[in-house]
Amino acid sequence: MTLLALDAGNTNLTVGLFRGEHLEHLWRIATSHRRSSDEYGLDLIGLLRRWGLRLEEVQACAMASVVPSLNAVLVEACRRYFRCEPLVVGPELRGLPSSCYDDPRTLGADRLANAVAAWSRFRTDPRALAAGHIAVVDFGTATKLEVVSIAGEYLGGAIAPGIGISAGALYRHAARLPRVEILRPAQVLGRNNVNAIQSGLVFGFVGQVEGLLERVAAELGRAPFAVATGGYAGLIAGECPTIQEVDMSLTLTGIRLLWEWNRAA
């Protein structure tokens, strides 16, 4: 079975092509509120063709979106170009963790997918079993944290400003600061403004996650097993002693799992 999974975030539309459980391709397209279903459809077709795939190979589509204005656009693109009705991730699907969220309808589809994928992948992992809880940190436009128990209960989470948008806002507000490439500097102490900002971004965002996970551990009485995903996971997670795994395709995997558990029999 070949599935096209779409994860529409505020910065990127991430596209995954699964053959069975295997993620064969992962593509990213910039999110734009102005693009039509035909434009997104053409992007998707173009990518498939470029990688030697035929449209007819796509048998199903599933999507998670946190951009309300894109929902209808992407559903239409799936109908028109792949001739299928996409599964849209939402709180009414089967297989979701039992939720402690006040109103599950307000929990972002990407957060749901992350929680589902992390629980499904790690609930039998000895490290996660010993910890009792699984935490997912998604380093995207926003840094998002979800905590799920081994028993499959969603306990809550956090949403914090992400590294990219925070850096952008810093440059806009502080007239005298230079734009920098987001890299780990050799030293924490910056002796010029470029290194000082790199240090603040990299180590500051390591601290953002460490600060949150430290408080989660204090509240639960035990440190959770922590897995990271999202665009900046590669840069930040390596500096975070509390993060044990990085899985760049976690959100897409969650979308695939929900599709499998909910596809019409």
Partner 1 sequence: MLLAIDVGNTEITLGIFRGRELLQHWRVGTDRNRTADEYGLLFTLLLENSGYPPGQVEAVVICSVVPPLSPVLEAASATYFGHAPLLVGPGVRTGLVIRYENPREVGADRIVLAVAALEKYGAPCIVVDFSGTATVFDYISAGGEYLGGVIAPGVETAADALFQFASKLPRIELVRPKSVLGRNTVTSMQSGIIFGFAGQVDEIVRRLKAELGEAQVIATGEAAELITHETHTIQTTDPFLSLDGLRIIHERNRTPRARRTTGDREEGSQG
Indicate which single residue of 101, 248, 260, 262 sits in contact with partner 1 (rule: CB under 8 A): 101
Select 35 or 144, whichever has its Cβ closest to partner 1. Answer: 144
Catalytic residue annotation: 110
- Residue 105 in contact with partner 1, rule: CB under 8 A: no
Indicate which single residue of 75, 131, 201, 250 sits in contact with partner 1 (rule: CB under 8 A): 201
Select 59 or 193, whichever has its Cβ closest to partner 1. Answer: 193
**CA–CA separation, 248 vs 69, rounded Å?**
26
Interface positions, 141-160, toward partner 1 (CB under 8 A): 141-145, 147, 155-160
Angle at alpha carbon of residue 46, lines to 44 and 51, rounded to 5°: 100
**CA–CA separation, 126 vs 124, rounded Å?**
6
- Interhelix angle 250-262/109-122, rounded to 10 degrees, is 90
The piece of 13-21, 51-59, 84-92, 99-107 that touches partner 1 (CB under 8 A) is: 99-107
Beta bridge partners of 89: none
Indicate which single residue of 1, 219, 222, 234 sits in contact with partner 1 (rule: CB under 8 A): 219
- Say if CB 7 and CB 252 are below 8 A apart: yes
**DSSP state at residue 106:** G
- Residue 209 in contact with partner 1, rule: CB under 8 A: yes
The dihedrals phi and psi of 179, each to the nearest 5 degrees, come to -80, 135
- Say if CB 33 and CB 11 are below 8 A apart: no
**CA–CA separation, 42 vs 40, rounded Å?**
5
- Residue 23 in contact with partner 1, rule: CB under 8 A: no
**CA–CA separation, 251 vs 115, rounded Å?**
9
Indicate which single residue of 50, 69, 151, 238 sits in contact with partner 1 (rule: CB under 8 A): 69
Q: How far is the CB of 68 from partner 1 (least distance, A)?
A: 6
By CB under 8 A, name the binding residues for partner 1: 10-11, 66-69, 100-103, 106, 108, 141-145, 147, 155-162, 165-170, 173-177, 187-193, 196-197, 199-201, 203-212, 214-216, 218-219
